[in-house]
Structure 1
Amino acid sequence: MNLHIVSQGTARADQHELVFIHGWGLSGRIWQSLIDRLSPRFRCHAVDLPGHGASKPGPVGLNNWADSLADTLAESVQKPTVCVGWSLGGLVTLSLARRHPERLAAAVLVASLPRMVRSRDWAWGLAPAAIEQTRQGLAGDYATTVSEFLMQQVLGEPGAARAVRSLRSDLIDQPPSRAGLERGLDILHDTDLRTALAALSLPTLWVAGARDRMAHPAGMDWAARQMTGAGYWPVERAAHAPFVSHERRFAERVTAFVDELARSRPQPAGEIRP
């Protein structure tokens, strides 16, 4: 299954292309302001996950979602990309790295955890009851349920009003399907990639909101330390959507990360870097 993808900017031989993977309940449109800022430098692609935005619900389960993303990238992007995954999109990015490492040059994981739900041996993430309450709400007024869940993501941010407008605009313009929402909740509830991190040899930047109530920054710090050479950046005064509330700083950090990645690539014989 191929996913809906919107591309912007001109591809450059000396730069990686960027792929943006949104969180639960939204679509690739949530990245538009950031992409407008980055596309003069990079070719950017915003993907709609299954059952979100303009993508059909399609397959069930994280592995199938990652496979669908890999199929989409194989048709739309000619070389390994830097995948920027937010929250649920971070889980999809990690699964893509495990199953299709040839599609990725690097990853930026934003407000995401290898396990998004708390358990006896995992203190960071959502309470299981929060997932179940949201699931039950989908059977009733699912639009209100999704809206309330998303609003919780930006509480405590200095730019909360702007973040709320962005989230609500995306939700109203491209509402997700109920099937997509239910399958996304299953992934959030069931996925546990903690033991997989050490085996991933991928340049990775973990970006946390210092005030995040959903993906605790301490959990993201822990995750970064499980991967060889991974970086960790806590965004002060940010909550669960730092790329919205602190867009300029986020864009600058992603640009620096991708530029450093380009500088570290092996050069063809005889090439001299200025």
Structure 2
Amino acid sequence: MMPSARFADLEGASVLITGGGSGIGAALTEGFARQGAKVAFIDIADGPSLALADRIEKELGRRPLYLKTDIRDVEALRASAARAAEAHGDVTVLVNNAALDDRHAVEDVTVEFWDNNQAVNLRPHFFSAQAVAPGMKRAGGGSIINFTSTSFLINHPDMPAYTAAKAGIVGLTKGLAGKLGADDIRVNAIAPGWVITERQKQLWVTEQALAAHVAKQCIKQVMQPEDVVGTVLFLASDASRMLTAQMLIVDGGFL
């Protein structure tokens, strides 16, 4: 269920979301569109991205701008950020959501695998922020929201390159917050717990594993992509005007 809260300052805001075509990202694209924001989203998969844009346009009468981009290509990422600004005005909300949580054994990791993993899971967070920061300064401020994960906090054993990137995002968040705060640009991180997307269902969810995880949560409900949206909207809005350099954990109380 999408959050019921409305944030008046998000209506008409120029929002850019990476990985916005599926999973949590798709819920974010829809959530901002329902706030009346002008949404552009980056993804690499045409099928789900175009279907999402079609559905939102049909339901809300406004179409999010889909920007097909391989976020490992920094120049392409910069170009897409520029296209979002050209279409909707200077980006004032950036959500760095894109990630790839492939499992991998320590003994199997090569230099090439490591570098590709960081090129998806950490490097784009910096360069997308770099791309939109000048526009945020012109606009008088903005909000950057970086997705990390609780995986590095629970010592997840099956994806060390991924957890290294997710821990790095927290450091990046704090460094950018310190640098950009003088221009009224807030930078925060959100750390979701186990959110059951279609990808999770296809690859890793078993009835037993999910039940055991939910049993450790304070709130005994399965987390859905929509459960993360409200926190991101709050961080994007002026309701969190003095909140920066923070990591908010949204995990149903697992930790």
TM class, shorter-length: 0.3 to 0.5
TM-score (norm 2): 0.44
TM-score of the aligned structures, taking structure 1 as reference length: 0.42
